Structure 1
Amino acid sequence: MKYLGESFALITALGWALSSLFFEKASKRADSISVNVIRLVIGIIFLGVFTFVERGVFLPTDSTSYNWKILGVSGIIGLFLGDIFLYESYVLIGARLCMLFMTLTPLIVGVFGYVFLGEVLTLTQLLAMIITCSGVLIVVLKSKDGEQNKKISSKGIMYICIATIFEAIGTIFTKMGSIGYNPSSSTQIRMICALLVFIIFSTARYFTFP
């Protein structure tokens, strides 16, 4: 189908926008680690059901060691490190500003893709990315009542900048590790690896700071 990829991208963007609001509320009620663990467990189960219906496997048992290594790194960088900072920034500056900074992720991915994968963006693609990001920035920054925004947490800004970079790096590893493999199962591998690291991290933190 024509523009199928673009349609999926729009659906993904809508999902990101809606989920960020729920994650902000959840992160304010509980710590970001707990929210991440719950999210990953639910995500792994739902993806398992989907891949079972789609191709008869609940877990990515048909993947290669290469898929696990590269996608595992992607999950640790993007879904563990990136989301720790992202969810903390939800609490500090809110989902609205977080999504503002996350619009810069495609630009960072483009730079990293050029450096590490040799991907080249055309001038039209670059202009389209800049225009799209600029439009979102203007809409998000514009105050509803025309008043100046309240003072923003510098710690929150630092966290969301770190999260954006980690998410972009994770995306590059995802592109490398999912070549020739099922996208849903690739995401499941990322989630499984991130969940394992979260469990190890939470256990170590509990015994270190009981």
Structure 2
Amino acid sequence: MEFIGEAAALTTALCWAFTSLFFSEAGKLIGSFKVNNIRLLMAVSIYTVVLLLYKGSLIPETLTINHVIWLGLSGIAGLVIGDGAGFKAMVMIGPRLTSLLYSLAPVMASIIAWLFLGEALGLFDMLGISLTMGGIGWVVSERQYNKNNLSDSHPDKGSLRLGI
């Protein structure tokens, strides 16, 4: 196939966009906590079936207690706390701003790696970070909210700044 990479990229972008819209609406209907729990239950179910089909066992033979501890801590931090906060953000500030703020993840990872791991950031790295942060700040501050029509799903600008 000639354009398989482009087709995969467009399909991924469409899935990402529609998923954030669906999760946002589901969060408004049943709550972000329930949406996250249902999503995690579905993921565990699919993982269980794949593990059984692929390995023939629920417990991989190379699994150690050290793996279980680190995977458990990572799961709590990422899947429970991080994704739970992300789903709550989709309900509170909407999928548009939440998706925009998700694009800060690589920037934050670079800054944390620079601060705590001593990784070097070159001129182009810092330029890219500045451009990304500036663009996100511009888009977030650009939208004007109707002060008379604010609801819980459209917080004031102070709340948005706190979220950033």
1:38 aligns with 2:38: yes
Partner residue, 1:174: none
Q: How far does the alpha carbon of each residue in 1:99-128 deviate from its partner, in whole angstroms, 9 at most, with x for none? A: 122221211111222333343333323433
Whole-angstrom CA distance in 2 between matches of 1:133 and 1:9 = 23
Partner residue, 2:155: 153
Whole-angstrom CA distance in 1 between matches of 2:93 and 2:12 = 23
CA gap 1:142/1:153 in 2 versus in 1, 3 angstroms: closer
Whole-angstrom CA distance in 2 between matches of 1:78 and 1:102 = 13
Partner residue, 1:56: 55
Partner residue, 1:25: 25
Whether the 8 Å contact between 1:21 and 1:95 is mirrored in structure 2 is yes
CA gap 1:20/1:140 in 2 versus in 1, 3 angstroms: farther
Question: Which runs of 5 or more structure 1 residues have no equivalent in the other structure?
Answer: 1-7, 162-210
Partner residue, 2:103: 103
CA gap 1:118/1:43 in 2 versus in 1, 3 angstroms: farther
CA gap 1:120/1:98 in 2 versus in 1, 3 angstroms: same
Alpha-carbon deviation of 1:35? 0.6
- Point out the structure with max Rg over C-alpha: 2
Q: 1:39-188 counterparts in 2 under 5 A?
A: 39-50=39-50, 56=55, 59=58, 61=60, 62-132=62-132, 134-135=134-135, 148-151=144-147, 152-154=154-156, 157=160, 160-161=163-164
Letter in 2 for 1:98: T
Q: How far does the alpha carbon of each residue in 1:116-155 deviate from its partner, in whole angstroms, 9 at most, with x for none? A: 3343333323433443555566567766xxxx34454148
CA gap 1:109/1:14 in 2 versus in 1, 3 angstroms: farther
What is the aligned length? 150
Whether the 8 Å contact between 1:88 and 1:156 is mirrored in structure 2 is no
Q: How far does the alpha carbon of each residue in 1:14-61 deviate from its partner, in whole angstroms, 9 at most, with x for none? A: 6443321111011011011111111011112333444556x5266453
Whole-angstrom CA distance in 1 between matches of 2:35 and 2:162 = 17
CA gap 1:158/1:124 in 2 versus in 1, 3 angstroms: closer
